[in-house]
């Protein structure tokens, strides 16, 4: 079972001066799991995520991602994860194909592998007719799928999604989540933050961060049961109610 753990974190803490952004968090994520990382604005989600991606060193505590230590093997981690955020995902001026090639090259794929993989992505997404269109000219729904494909071109073990669906309409969001389901069913681990609590229901397990700590961690059904509510939205509000930060 030990090999089934893709992300493992023990006592992870990050301080900026007097401010403890992430306060002693511990959790494990299994291979192929969709793990929802929830929390109010300013709860410390982004800081925690940056440490897991090898972008920032923890003040104390330890963790492994895809089998690599987050403090000592940051470069290895970057090679084995994918990352996508709402703020940046693709280069608007490059074409669809150029974007995919660029991201694959960054991750050190060979040109043969890139060619095969891009053809495959176009076929699965049904985008053959727009592969030479600049990204800025394609509809937002396609951009989302494309961004996810770009982040997973190198078949990473884990993909980190930082509010991937912010400000996107329900139809586009659904199509995006279908891609996540597919990736997860193929064994990819998904680590996702979101403000849409209906999306939290799609996750296998959810953690809710409040003021730098993990206040709740379980499957959506059991969390709803525990707080005696019908929706994740209500459960989240009960858990996050006492937050002192976020002001």
* Binding residues for another protein (CB under 8 A): 39-42, 86, 139-140, 163, 166-172, 174, 177-178, 181-182, 184-185, 195-198, 201-202, 220-221, 231-233, 236-237, 240-241, 243, 245-247
Supply the minimum distance, in Å, between the C-beta of residue 141 and another protein.
8
Residue 128 or 247: the one with the smaller Cβ distance to another protein is: 247
Residue 112 or 185: the one with the smaller Cβ distance to another protein is: 185
Supply the minimum distance, in Å, between the C-beta of residue 231 and another protein.
8
Supply the minimum distance, in Å, between the C-beta of residue 81 and another protein.
21
Contacts of 123 (CB under 8 A, 6+ apart): none
Residue 36 or 58: the one with the smaller Cβ distance to another protein is: 36
Supply the minimum distance, in Å, between the C-beta of residue 132 and another protein.
21
Supply the minimum distance, in Å, between the C-beta of residue 91 and another protein.
15
Q: Tokens 């690599």 map to which residue?
A: 68
Residue 43 or 96: the one with the smaller Cβ distance to another protein is: 43
Torsion of CA 218, 220, 223, 229, to 10 degrees: 180
Distance CA 175, CA 125 (A): 11
Supply the minimum distance, in Å, between the C-beta of residue 196 and another protein.
7
**207 within 8 A of 194, measured Cβ to Cβ:** no
Supply the minimum distance, in Å, between the C-beta of residue 244 and another protein.
11
Element (H, E) at 207: strand 205-210
Q: Tokens 């969390």 map to which residue?
A: 223
Q: Is 176 helix (H, G, I), strand (E, B) or coil?
A: helix
**Which structure tokens are listed for 220?**
């959506």
Secondary structure letter of residue 86 according to DSSP: S
Residue 108 or 230: the one with the smaller Cβ distance to another protein is: 230
**30 within 8 A of 5, measured Cβ to Cβ:** yes
Residue 70 or 183: the one with the smaller Cβ distance to another protein is: 183
Residue 17 or 139: the one with the smaller Cβ distance to another protein is: 139
**233 within 8 A of 197, measured Cβ to Cβ:** yes
What residues form DSSP beta bridges with 204?
Answer: none
Contacts of 172 (CB under 8 A, 6+ apart): 140, 141, 144, 165
- DSSP one-letter string for 151-173: HTTT--SEEEEESTTTT--HHHH
């Amino acid at each position: 079972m030990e090999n089934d753990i893709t992300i493992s974190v023990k006592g992870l803490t990050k301080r900026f001066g007097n401010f403890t952004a992430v306060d002693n968090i511990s959790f494990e994520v299994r291979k192929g799991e969709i793990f929802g990382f929830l929390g109010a604005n300013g709860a410390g989600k982004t800081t925690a995520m940056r440490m897991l991606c090898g972008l920032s060193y923890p003040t104390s505590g330890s963790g492994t991602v895809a089998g690599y230590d987050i403090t000592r093997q940051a470069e290895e981690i970057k090679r084995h994860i994918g990352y996508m955020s709402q703020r940046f995902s693709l280069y608007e001026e490059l074409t669809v194909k150029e974007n995919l090639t660029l991201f694959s090259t960054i991750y050190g794929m060979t040109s043969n592998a890139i060619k095969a993989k891009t053809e495959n992505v176009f076929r699965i997404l049904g985008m053959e007719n727009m592969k030479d269109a600049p990204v800025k000219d394609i509809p937002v729904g396609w951009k989302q799928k494309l961004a996810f494909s770009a982040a997973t071109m190198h078949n990473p073990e884990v993909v980190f999604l930082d509010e991937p669906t912010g400000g996107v309409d329900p139809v586009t969001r659904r199509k995006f989540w279908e891609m996540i389901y597919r990736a997860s069913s193929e064994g990819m681990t998904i680590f996702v933050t979101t403000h849409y609590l209906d999306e939290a229901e799609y996750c296998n397990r959810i953690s809710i961060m409040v003021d730098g700590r993990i206040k709740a961690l379980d499957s959506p059904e059991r969390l709803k049961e525990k707080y005696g509510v019908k929706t994740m939205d209500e459960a989240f509000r009960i858990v996050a109610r006492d937050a002192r930060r976020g002001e």
